[in-house]
Structure formats: structure tokens, C-alpha cells
Structure 1
Amino acid sequence: MQRQLGADPHRALAPLGKSGRIGLRFGPGRWGTPIPSASIEHLHDGRRSAGGAARGARLMRGYRRLLVLAVAALGIAGTGCQGTVDHLKANFAAKQGNDFYKAQDFQKAVEWYRYSLYLDPELPIAYHNAGLAFMGLYKPGSKHPKDQYFSQQAIDNLTRYLSYQPDDEDGKNQLLTVYLQAERYDDAAKFFEAEMKERAGDPAVSARLAQTLGMIYAKKGDFESSLEWYKKRAEIDKDNPEALYTIGVLCWDKVYHSGITMELDARKQMVDMGLDYLQRAADLREDYFEATSYINLMYRE
């Protein structure tokens, strides 16, 4: 339509009127005097009177304004329609990806999710599902460049998804899973420490994040940092026996696996600390069998 307007605007707009006239709208429901097409043509012949020429010039200026507005309206409408079509196509592509994901054809699923995001880069669910598909392609613990690429893509897509849905706890757990499988403990700690700063005002969330960070550092083998975060959890969630129990188990694990490499004084301090936390946990919960079992194990150390 725009090419037609540029080539011959009179011809392109003529079908909008009746009997060779084009109606001008001057407000909601109000139409101005139609412009006779013939009058427009006669503006160029130079045979009208001075008054007619002035009137013709005014009509021509009005006509040109109408033409500009029509072209602009067509451009805006075209853009909006194209955006709607792309959004519908993107959703269809994401659905195709879901079908391949369910069939465990993760490579095909990734291709469809990527096409979906090409059509609509602001479709959060496509980022989420692409992250899961890349997780399906990744072999946990593998250092092969291909698997490192898959794990990075999973992380990138899940992180992008969480930028749209920051409160999705399932999405955060999925991201944590990739970090741990890829043994990227520092990156995991960085992500959840930032989360801890943002959510510090919510005790329940802070306690859960402190537990997550304690677990991350324990996986890394950083006992001191793990103990620090588990203690923070116990300070926040004082009446939770599991928070105390976890610290007791961590102390036992340290003593047990250190063996004779740990100095006697340090060993005794660690045993005493573990017994203290385990006993406090057993005091808070009646018949806490797990805590009692670790108390017995700790005495053997």
C-alpha cells in the first residue's frame, strides 16, 4: 500500500471516496466538505481566477496533510499487525518445542525455542524452557567443550527467564542445579549472595537462602564458609531444630573425614561444637531420632 501511495497518491486514495470525492474527517463523527477530484486536477492548469487559485492551494495543502496522515496510519497499523503475528508465531514455535521436549528430543526442542525467541525476544517462557532443554543436553560433570556450552546456555537462558520472573523459586532451583552439576560453585554463591542482599528484610526467605549458600559452600569443600552460612540460618530461624541439626552434622562430617590430619585441640573443639548443636536440636524436637544418632556418632570421635 505504501508503494502505491508513493507512486500515485491520487489513484491510491480514490477508492476511499464515492463518486470521485474524498471525505475529510474533522473530529469524531464529523466530516468536512468532500474534495471534488476534478477540482484537484484543475488546480494545476493555471486557468482559474485568483480567488479560485487561493482556494485550490488551501485544498491542496489539506489534501497533502491527509496523504501524510494516511501513510503514517498505514505504517503504524502494519507494525502493530506484524508484532501480533510474530507473537502468535512465537507461541506456536514454543509449543512445538514443548512437544519435542516431552519426547526428549532436546536438540529439536532447542531449535524451536530459539526460533520462538527470534520471533519474540520478550517471551519469558521460551527462555525458561530453552534452559531446561539445554539441561537435557548437558552431561553433568563433563568438561567436554560441547557440554560446557550446553551448561552455559542453560544458565544464560534460566538467568534471562528469572529477570522476567524474579520470584519463581522453581526457576532458581533449576539454575542452582545447573551450577552444581557444572561444579560452578563460585558462580552459584555469587548469584544467591546477591539474592540474599535483596531479600534480607524477609526472615523466611533469608533463612532459606542462608541454607542454600551453606549447601553450596559445603559442596565446594569450603567448610568455614559453609559453617558461617549455616550459623546465619540458625540465628534467623532460632526455633527450627533442623537448622541446629545441620550444623551438628557438618561438624561431624568435618571431624570424620579429617581423621588424624586434624590437630587434637581443633578436633576437640569441633566435636564439642557439634554435640552442642545436636543436643539443642534434640531438645527442641521430641524423639528427634536423626539428631540422637549423630550425637552417638560424635561421641565415637
Structure 2
Amino acid sequence: MTRKTKLMLAFLAILALALTSCAKLQARDNLNKGVRAFTDAHYENAVNYFKQAMQLDPDLTVAEVYLGTAYSQMFIPNAQSEENQKNAEMAIATFQNVLRKDPNNTNAIAGLAYLYQNTGDLQKAHDYYMKNAELDSTNAVPFYAVGSVDWIMVYNKNNPLPEEEQAKLVEEGLLYLDKALAKNPEYEDAMSYKNLLYREKARLSKDEKEKAALIAQADEWFNKALETRKKLQEQKKAGGGVAATSDSK
């Protein structure tokens, strides 16, 4: 190899590195523009910026997570339009692609759980909430989410599950809500769902004394939820800290 050839190869290597660095900088710039558009609720603009960022730097996972989240924000639960359905499909496909590269990405997992719940696939929602709780074990919210979706599955009157499966979901839901409350003792929504699950457990019971005891437990959790909500509202008015309520899910 001649000296001239070596110099040319070195120059091309430096040029390639410079172009790569330039592309990554442009990708970051588009990411930042997308985040600003997302924060301002300009989701369609945000989608375009995040797509450009991904084209410039395919390894920029955060841009892809934001892209899926932007599609999720444009999705309206229960709206039947073709465009709305497409937004849900694009969000799901984007989050699934993130997980192919990063299987433990909790943002993508939580996003999929939300989307499956709101598109009616409760079993998939349940499974992703369970995975999210496993990976984000210090956060009360995914544990609460398991308990709440368990109640939705048990309460489903259109396609009721066998009573044995309902009973298992009730016990699982109560367990996960206890875990949520262990992490946040003032989690009012978790208390509310404990009330609801105890009522379902009472419905499934064949023993009248047990039914009465379970209803009493449900009433106790209902009252705890009301008391906690009142306490948190008073703290908010006084400028104090606010624990996890329905606004923090």
C-alpha cells in the first residue's frame, strides 16, 4: 500500500467519523425539538422530530420511546375512528420495537400495558403490568396497576371468567395492592381498589358469614380511601406534599 493510499484511507476514516458525529448531534437537536413540541402538546410535530432523530441515529432509544409515547398521547380510548386506531397500532409497534432492542425498558413496558388495557386486551395489559412491577419494584404504581386491572378482569360482565379464575385474580389483586400500599401507605386509589376486590371476593364466597366479614373489610377500605383523600386534599390546600392519588398514576 502506497503512502498516498494510506493517507487517503486515513482521511476517509476521519471524514466518516466527523459525519457520524454530525449526524448524532443533529439527532440530539431533533430529539430536543421533539421534547419541546411534546411538552407543548404538539404531538404531530413531536412525532416528526422524533422520526428524524431516529433516522439520524438509530441507536437513540430515548427518541423511539418518546415517539411511542407521542402516538399514545394522540390515541383516545374508546374512539372508533380509523386514525385513532392507527395511532394505537403505531404506538404499540414502536414500543415493541424498543423492547426488541432493550427488553427491560420500563417506559416501553408501561406504555404497552396502558395501550393494551385501553384497546381491550386485558390479558396482555395484565402481563405487561406484572413485568413492569417486577422490573420497577420500588415504584408503587405498577403494583397498583396489577390490582386495578385484576378487578377489571373479574368485574367483566360481558365475557365473565370462570369463578376459579376470578378468585385467583382477586387474591393476586389484593396481594399487589398490599405491595403498593407498603411502598406508599397513602395511596388512596389502591385503597379504593382493595374495597372493590373485597366486594368481588364476597360475591364469590359461598359462606354467608364470610360474605359479611368481607363486606365489612370492603367498607373499612372504602372509608380509609375517603379519609386519605380528604387528608391529601387538605395537605394540598395547605401547600404540603401530596402522595400518590388518582392524579399521579
Give, in whole Å, the separation in 2 of the partners of 1:145 and 1:238.
Answer: 40
Q: List 4+ stretches of structure 1 deviating above 6 A.
A: 241-245
| Secondary structure class of the residue paired with 1:93 | helix
1:227 corresponds to which residue?
Answer: 170
> Are 2:190 and 1:247 aligned?
no
Aligned to 1:126: 63
Does the 8 A contact of 2:72 with 2:115 survive in 1?
A: yes
CA contact (8 A) 2:173 2:197 kept: no
Question: Aligned to 1:146, which of 63, 83, 95?
Answer: 83
Aligned equivalents of 2:154, 2:211: Cα separation in 1: 16
The 1:277/1:93 distance shift into structure 2, 3 A limit, reads same
d(CA) in 1 for partners of 2:110, 2:16: 39
CA contact (8 A) 1:132 1:154 kept: yes
SS in 1 for 2:79: coil
SS in structure 1 of the partner of residue 206 of structure 2: helix
Which structure's CA Rg is the greater one? Answer: 1
Q: Deviations over 1:66-116 (max 9, x none)?
A: 334323322321221111111111122223334443454422321221111
How big is the alpha-carbon RMSD for the aligned residues of Structure 1 and Structure 2?
A: 3.9
**Residue in 1 aligned with 2:243?**
none
**Residue equivalent to 2:127:** 190
If asked which structure has higher relative contact order (CA below 8 Å, sep 6+), I would say: 2
Q: Residue 134 of structure 1 aligns to which amino acid in structure 2?
A: Y
Q: 1:230 to 1:141 in 2, by over 3 A?
A: same
Q: Which residue of 1 aligns with 2:26?
A: 89
Q: Offset of 1:141 from its aligned partner? A: 1.5
Distance in 1 between the 2:45 and 2:2 partners? 51
Change (3 A) 1:249 1:183: same
3-state SS of 1:265 partner? coil
Over 3 Å counting, the alpha-carbon distance change for 1:234 and 1:126 in structure 2 is: closer
| Alignment CA distance shift 1:172-1:198 (3 Å) | closer
In the aligned structure 2, how far is the partner of 1:118 from the partner of 1:216? Answer: 37
1:241 and 1:112 mapped to 2: Cα distance? 39
Letter matched to residue 211 of structure 1? Y
2:146 to 213, 218, 224: 213
Look up the equivalent residue of 2:216 and give its one-letter code: L
User: What letter corresponds to residue 251 of structure 1 in structure 2?
Assistant: Y
Instruction: Write the distance in 2 (CA, Å) between the matches of 1:237 and 1:145.
Output: 37
Are residues 100 and 236 of structure 1, via their aligned partners in 2, closer, same or farther at CA, if it must alter by over 3 Å? closer
Aligned in 2, Cα 1:88/1:237: closer, same or farther, shift over 3 Å?
A: closer
How many residues of Structure 1 are paired with residues of Structure 2 in the alignment? 212
Aligned residue in 2 for 1:296: none
Give the Cα–Cα distance (whole angstroms) in 2 for the partners of residues 236 and 289 of structure 1.
Answer: 16
Do the aligned residues in 1 keep the contact of 2:113 with 2:128 (CA within 8 Å)? Answer: no
Letter in structure 1 aligned against 2:49: W
2:151 maps to a residue whose letter is A
Picking from 9, 16, 26, the partner of 1:79 is 16
Report if the CA contact (8 A) 1:244-1:277 is conserved.
no
Q: CA deviation at 1:268?
A: 5.7
| Corresponding residue SS for 1:141 | coil
Map of 2:232 onto structure 1: none
Give the structure-1-normalised TM-score: 0.55
C-alpha distance in 2 between matches for 1:142 and 1:252: 31
Q: 1:198 to 1:137 in 2, by over 3 A?
A: closer
SS in structure 2 of the partner of residue 148 of structure 1: helix
CA distance 1:105–1:246, change in 2 (3 Å)? closer
Whole-angstrom CA distance in 1 between matches of 2:225 and 2:42: 45
Runs of 5+ consecutive residues of structure 1 not aligned to the other structure: 1-63, 256-261, 292-301
User: Are residues 211 and 101 of structure 1, via their aligned partners in 2, closer, same or farther at CA, if it must alter by over 3 Å?
Assistant: closer
CA contact 1:142–1:182 (8 Å) conserved in 2: no
